[in-house]
């Protein structure tokens, strides 16, 4: 999701809210996602850290599939089916719809994007998929010219401290707001701690919030 106040998202303030992202999360059945996209050859997780990083993986982070909760959360944002067409509208009567950019040429990403589109339609959210060459997609991301992107994150180390370009708001891979210039204050200290057992609760907080707190 593009969390900046870029022109692409300015007319859709709901798109930048934590509640909207939580509704999307609740609408998705991660087990079915694994089965349909990867033929069952993966396990559902929440967040970017996998069981391959046992010190940092947190299996108890909640990731419930609850379409009812998704609908209730969307309604709390003022998003309702005002014209009885099974799709939601905002308070101005505009369709709740956004475009997701996906990189062209990766079959599992394409299947995953289609699955997400179809599941979100069930709770009244419209998604348009646009496939781009990877270079064009990266350019759009760097310029903030997108509403949402569905792609993979390349993690280069099992220790989050070695991927600060992702975790820090000032990092070059700060995917949710790449044009943000504010320097993160608290995260540097939490990753400089040399003892993993002291850093683990701080990393957990980052994952629970879905973003590094400033």
pLDDT digits (tens, 9 = 90+) for 72-102: 999 999 999 999 999 999 999 999 999 999 9
Which residue range is the domain that position 15 belongs to?
7-28+65-152
Global confidence as pTM: 0.79
Whether 169 is covered by a domain: the verdict is: no
Percent of the chain with pLDDT over 90: 50
Q: Where are the alpha helices (DSSP H) in the chain?
A: 7-10, 18-27, 30-38, 67-76, 107-122, 134-143, 164-167, 186-192, 196-209
* Tens of pLDDT, residues 174-207: 666 666 655 444 444 444 554 454 666 666 566 5
* Tens of pLDDT, residues 92-143: 999 999 999 999 999 999 999 999 999 999 999 999 999 999 999 999 988 8
Question: How many domains is the chain partitioned into structurally?
Answer: 1
* Residue 116 CB burial class (10 angstroms; 0-12, 13-18, ≥19): buried
Whether 111 is covered by a domain: the verdict is: yes
Query: Which CATH number is 77's domain given?
Result: 3.10.105.10
Whether 101 is covered by a domain: the verdict is: yes
């Amino acid at each position: 999701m593009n969390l900046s106040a870029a022109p692409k998202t300015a007319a859709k303030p709901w798109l930048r809210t934590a509640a909207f992202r939580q509704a999307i999360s609740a609408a998705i059945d991660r087990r079915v996602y694994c089965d349909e996209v990867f033929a069952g050859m993966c396990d559902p997780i929440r967040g970017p850290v996998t069981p391959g990083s046992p010190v940092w993986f947190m299996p108890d982070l909640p990731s419930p599939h609850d379409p009812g909760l998704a609908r209730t959360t969307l309604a709390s944002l003022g998003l309702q089916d005002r014209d009885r067409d099974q799709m939601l509208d905002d308070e101005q009567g505009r369709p709740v719809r956004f475009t997701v950019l996906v990189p062209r040429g990766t079959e599992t990403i394409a299947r995953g994007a289609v699955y997400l589109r179809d599941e979100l339609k069930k709770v009244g959210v419209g998604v348009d998929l646009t496939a781009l060459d990877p270079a064009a997609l990266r350019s759009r991301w760097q310029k903030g010219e997108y509403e949402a992107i569905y792609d993979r994150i390349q993690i280069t180390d099992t220790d989050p401290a070695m991927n600060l370009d992702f975790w820090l708001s000032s990092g070059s891979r700060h995917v949710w707001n790449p044009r943000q210039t504010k320097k993160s204050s608290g995260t540097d200290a939490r990753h400089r701690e040399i003892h993993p057992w002291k850093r683990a609760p701080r990393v957990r907080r980052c994952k629970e919030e879905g973003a590094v707190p400033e």
